[in-house]
Amino acid sequence: MSLLPGCFCCDQEAAEDLPVRERVHVGDGWRVAHAFDTSLPGWLVVLPRRHVTAMAELTDDEGAELGVLLVRLGRALSRVTGCTKTYVMQFAEAPGFGHVHLHVVPRMADQPEDRRGPAVFGYLGVPEGERVPEDARDRLAGELAAALTA
């Protein structure tokens, strides 16, 4: 597996003992983590387990694994959070986050209109005091991991 030292995503992948919130799912080509800087419970980040900076760099096997994983994550988020749908987005443009990663975000039935569609990113990059606490992310991650295998 090819990792790039100094890349946030690769450094996380290389860590010996990741907390549950960083390993909702660990497959052959993909790892799923709960986003660390969100105020929306269940905001997931899907990361290739090797350093990739563009979707075109994925192998066919990685692409196939990703497709199935996205469907299963949508089902798990629905079961655990009660969301009515999930958003899936991929940009990998922020400084320090050029490693391909996909955001899989629950869209709740009561989500305000001004936080739907692309405006959902208003829940990301929030100040520390507004973020979903680590213990809540760990609990959600455990529930989602169980729902993925159900």
Sheet strands side by side (includes 102-107): 25-26, 30-34, 44-48, 102-107, 85-90
The count of other CB atoms within 10 Å of the CB of residue 122 is 13
Average pLDDT over residues 27-44: 97
Determine the Cα–Cα distance for residues 86 and 102; give it in Å rounded to an integer: 12
Judged against a pLDDT cut of 80, whether residue 1 lies above it is answered with no
pLDDT at position 73 is 98
pTM, entire model: 0.95
Query: Contact at 8 Å (CB) between 24 and 34?
Result: yes
pLDDT at position 93 is 87
pLDDT at position 89 is 97
CA 43-86-75 angle, 5° bins: 95
Determine the Cα–Cα distance for residues 62 and 48; give it in Å rounded to an integer: 8
Average pLDDT, the chain: 95
Determine the Cα–Cα distance for residues 102 and 98; give it in Å rounded to an integer: 11
Model confidence at 150, pLDDT cuts 50, 70, 90, reads confident
Judged against a pLDDT cut of 80, whether residue 36 lies above it is answered with yes
Judged against a pLDDT cut of 90, whether residue 16 lies above it is answered with no
Determine the Cα–Cα distance for residues 67 and 12; give it in Å rounded to an integer: 23
Task: Please give the share of the chain, as a percent, with pLDDT higher than 70.
Answer: 99
Pick 33 or 1 by higher pLDDT.
33
pLDDT at position 32 is 98
pLDDT at position 43 is 98
Determine the Cα–Cα distance for residues 26 and 33; give it in Å rounded to an integer: 9
Judged against a pLDDT cut of 90, whether residue 97 lies above it is answered with no
Domains and CATH numbers, the chain: 8-149 (3.30.428.10)
